[in-house]
Amino acid sequence: MLLRQGDHVLFFGDSITDAGRREKHNHNDHLGVGYVAVVASVLLARCPELTLTFTNRGFSSNRVYDLEKRLQDDVIDLKPTVVSILVGINDTWHQYSRNLPSPLEDFRAAYRRICTRIRDELGARLVICEPFLLHFPEDRAAWREDLDGRLQAIRQIGAECASVYIPLDGLFAAAGRKAPAAYWVGDGVHPTPAGHGLIADAWLQAVCGA
């Protein structure tokens, strides 16, 4: 089990992590209504003796460059002992929807800088969750070519820096054989309640073994 007595677990990412934290509640101590809240609720109930604390620093529409810009304020200064990162799908999505380029080598370098700062400056244990995509609606399939290169970069960085790596893209692909894609992700990217439950289950299994 990765967690230890008194750990402060911080979740860092985009709208999938945000999950209504800012839009609906607009204060920093709220965990949102997605996988972060599920993970925290389960662990607080299951392991009260660990006196864990949880922070959500997801921010809707963020790309990897946005996470790097707010890394000091939203992660380093808060001194978490465990940091969970989920980012990368907007670097693909915004190229198609907003014509915002995110060259793969720039993406790789920014992601690596984030992870090495967390590791070297905080000494925190790092959980990397890979971004994921299901081909619903059908036009999302065109994004796969771009995302696959980012997944390979994240997997390489995970091998270098992460204490735990969670292969969400593969898990969502497998889930898509059990129920239609729309059951898990309403737009190919943003999880439904079932999708958030899938992420939470994967996180708990990878980090806690159960």
List, for residues 163-185, the tens digit of each pLDDT value: 999 999 999 999 999 999 999 99
pLDDT above 60 (res 25):
no
Q: Residues 88-140: pLDDT tens digits? A: 999 999 999 899 999 999 999 999 999 999 999 999 999 999 999 999 999 99
CATH 3.40.50.1110 fits 8-208, yes or no: yes
pLDDT tier at 74 (50, 70, 90 boundaries)? very high
Which is it for the CA torsion 201, 168, 95, 10, positive or negative? positive
pLDDT confidence of residue 115: 98
pLDDT above 80 (res 31):
yes
pLDDT confidence of residue 133: 97
pTM of the predicted protein model: 0.96
